[in-house]
Every structure is written in structure tokens, then in C-alpha cells.
Copies of this chain bind each other. A is one copy, B any other.
Amino acid sequence: MATQKAEAPKGKLGVLVVGLGAVSTTFMAGVLAARKGLAKPVGSMTQYDKIRIGRGEDKKYLHYKDIVPIADLNDIVFGAWDVYPENAFESAVNAEVLKAKDILPLQAELEAIKPMKAAFDKNYAKRLDGNNVKDCKDRWDMAEQLREDIRNFKKETGVDRVVVLWAASTEVYVPVNDEVHGTLEALEAAMKADDKENIAPSMCYAYAALQEGCPFIMGAPNTTVDIPAMWELAEKTKMPIAGKDFKTGQTLVKSGFAPIIGTRCLGLNGWFSTNILGNRDGLVLDEPANFRTKEVSKLSTLESILVPEEQPDLYGHGNDEDTQYYHKVRINYYPPRNDNKEGWDNIDIFGWMGYPMQIKINFLCRDSILAAPLCLDLVLLSDLAMRAGRYGTQRFLSFFLKSPMHDYTKGEVPVNHLFQQYVMLKNAIREMGGYEADEEID
């Protein structure tokens, strides 16, 4: 993949979101409100961060928009699919994330966003039962219908480009199966054979997006684009893909806090993370098969930052049976909180001569408030990457993701360390702006 300067955008940018729930409507409302000067898009790197370009005497700190040609908020046009028929205004009200005073000034614009019928299979999300659902002959037909939706959306809105963003629920865990997921050919055959077990609905969305020339972003922990078949398709269509799982609450803290421990050469005996959350996401994750998908996504963070093999004195034990620290993640559905997620982390560290200490982090966060700016940044940066000729897996977007994509067939390892991810992000922006990147990330 050649590194090249991104081309300037022309025309509008369509954003098609899978799932029109709490995250999506908060994302949309915030963009619309920011355009009217009613609210600030806090938490968005593309809107706030400043990056150094140049070195020594020549260095300057610039906002992204002054380095690379990212699309303007005013040029975004929203569309969506959802299993429930409520429009974005109704859904935002139901989500109870934003206050009435923040939604009401946007009522007309939000009401205009009506969800297209979703590609859905109840076996992948037992707790959901909406009826705004496509009738599909098989998985191939499902993808075909989605492709048609995308083409129609383009035609009706006149947008120049489209990005497809999955902001829907976690599906049941689908392990990678080389016979089905190993090549594009095998994948297409399985879609045609209606292999419901190995082809999640989300894969049909990704397939449709890439075939239609749209970058695809996986915001849930689904393994949708973590398979060689999708990488092949992205290469073929020269489209960026990114995933997976928005890095919002507890994992954000973990990927930032673990480096503190690691940088100071403190030891780790155990890390226990528990969460309570009460929104639809929590309801879906209350189902063990869906939680499994999430757990796999959340557990890997720590192990790649504090590596027992590299520092056996520091991370190499923890209890009698294991050869490293003890790490456990729990998610608990707890309705009284609705969208207000709460994380509680207990970190058992040790210092000089092995003496133990404890750090406890209690994060009273809001899921959608943390996810919305990630949606914006992932959309704008995927669109930018496409215009810079970057396709396939976008490692520089790891910063935004709980379980960043990496091509394990090439021996790549995921980068979970928040500050190393940040260096990767900055370097990509520099390159796409025609500047030299810093060579190393540590």
C-alpha cells in the first residue's frame, strides 16, 4: 500500500449507519447540533486534536483539518438501517441519553432520518425482536438487497461518497472458520449456500458496502471484517476497513492506565474489571453467546501491553496455577443505569521488594457520549483514507478500537497501548498530509 497524500473531497459524504439506537442517534444529534453551533463535538480527534508537523525549528501544531482534507461536518448526510421502525428523533427520545433541550432543536432533521429495513437474523441477537426487517431468500440475497439500499441512498441524496458504519448490537460469537472465511470465493459460495451458521448478517453489510465502494467500520465486537475473505475483498475493491469495537469506557481506561504501570516498571498480580450497564447493549450481552464475543474482544487489551514474556519478574506470576497475572472481565446487565455505564477496575500491583498495592478505578461513564465522537472520527478518517488510496485494514485507527484489526496471517500483533496507538494515528495523518512520519512508536 503506497503512502500518498489524500485528495480533497468533492461533494457530500453519505454516512449509512447500521443500527439507529442510542449510539447512532447521539452521534447524529451531536453532528447536527455542532453544525448549528448548539453543542461542541467534545471527544473528537478530528475536531479538536492538534498534531506536531515538522521538526526542530520548523515544527508547528495544527488541527487535523489544517493538515489533511477531511470532510466538513456540513457535508455529512445521514441514513440508517434498523430492526425497529422508529425514526432518529423517536429513537433519540427513547434512548434517554440526551436531554430534551438538546434534542428538540433538531427534531425536524432527526425525524427525516427513517431507518431502512434491516438485514436481521434473530439467532444472532435473541433479545431483539424488531419487525422492520428484510425478507431474504438467503445470505446472498441479503447482501444484494443491502447493495441496492446503498445505491438508492446515493441516488436519492446525491452524495458523492458513502461510509458504512456498524453501530448496532453485538452478535453471537462466530469463530473464524478457514473453510468459509478463508477466501472471498469461499465466502461468496457460503452466502449463496445460505450458510446461516458461519455468515452473520453483519458480514452481508460489510460485503455490500465494500462491493459498492464504501469503507466499512465495525463498531461492535463482531468478527465481521476480521476474516481473510474480507481482507481480500477490501484489497480488490481498494476500500478501507476498520474494526473492531468502539473503545469507550473501561477498555479506554485500561489501554491508557496499563501503560502507566508498564512505564514505571511496577509489577502486576491481577486486574479485575467489572461493569454495570443497562441499555440495549447490556441486554444483548446478558445472553452468554453474545457476551463471549465481547469478552474475547476485551481480554486481549492487557496482555499485549504488559507482556509476561518480556518482563517475567513483573508480570510473570500472579497465582499458583498461572504463568502470568490474573485478568478477569465481567459485564453485568443492570437496568437502573440505562445508558450510564459504570466500570469498576481493581488492579493489584506490586513494587519494591514485591510489596503489594492496589489501585481501584471507578468510571461513571456514558456509553453513547463516549462512542459518538469515535463514530465521527472513524467515518471521517475512513473517508480520508479512501481518498489517500489506503485500503484494506487501517491499523492507524486502532486508537479508536477495543480490539484493533491486524493481519495475523502476516504475524502482526495488535497495538493496544493508547499512546503507541496515538503515535500511529499521528503518523498516518502526517503522511496523508504530505509530511514525514516519525519512524518509531516507542
Set of chain B residues within 8 Å of A59, measured between Cβ atoms = 440
- Docked complex: A352-377 residues within 8 A CB-CB of B: 352-355, 357-366, 368-370, 372-373
| A39–B326 CB distance below 8 A | no
Q: How large is the interface on A (under 10, 10 to 19, 20 to 34, 35 or more residues)?
A: 35 or more
Instruction: Quote the shortest CB–CB distance from A355 to chain B (angstroms).
Output: 5
Chain A contact residues: helix, strand, loop or mixed: mixed
Q: Mark A15-47, 1 if CB is under 8 A from B, else 0.
A: 000000000001001100100000111111101
- Docked complex: A292-331 residues within 8 A CB-CB of B: 310-311, 313-314, 318-322, 325-326, 328, 330
- Docked complex: A423-442 residues within 8 A CB-CB of B: 438-440, 442
| B256–A260 CB distance below 8 A | yes
Set B253, B320, B332, B440: member contacting A335, Cβ < 8 A: B320
Q: Is A78 an interface residue (CB 8 A)?
A: no
Set B50, B102, B313, B438: member contacting A440, Cβ < 8 A: B438
Set B325, B328, B365: member contacting A332, Cβ < 8 A: B328
Set of chain B residues within 8 Å of A326, measured between Cβ atoms = 334-336
Q: Is A407 an interface residue (CB 8 A)?
A: no
Q: Is A122 an interface residue (CB 8 A)?
A: no
Count copies of this chain in the complex. Answer: 4
Interface with B: A138-146, A234-242, A266-274, A386-394, which one?
A266-274
Tell me whether A337 and B348 are in contact in the complex, defined as CB-CB below 8 angstroms, given that A48-B265, A353-B30, A357-B366 are known contacts.
yes
Docked CA distance A311–B45 (Å):
12
Q: Is A208 an interface residue (CB 8 A)?
A: no
Q: 18 A-B pairs, CB-CB below 8 angstroms?
A: A42-B313, A42-B352, A42-B353, A42-B354, A43-B352, A48-B265, A270-B337, A272-B276, A272-B332, A322-B335, A330-B330, A337-B348, A352-B370, A355-B366, A359-B364, A359-B365, A360-B364, A438-B440
Shortest beta-carbon contacts, A-B, top 8: A256-B260, A270-B336, A319-B335, A39-B353, A48-B265, A360-B362, A269-B336, A358-B364
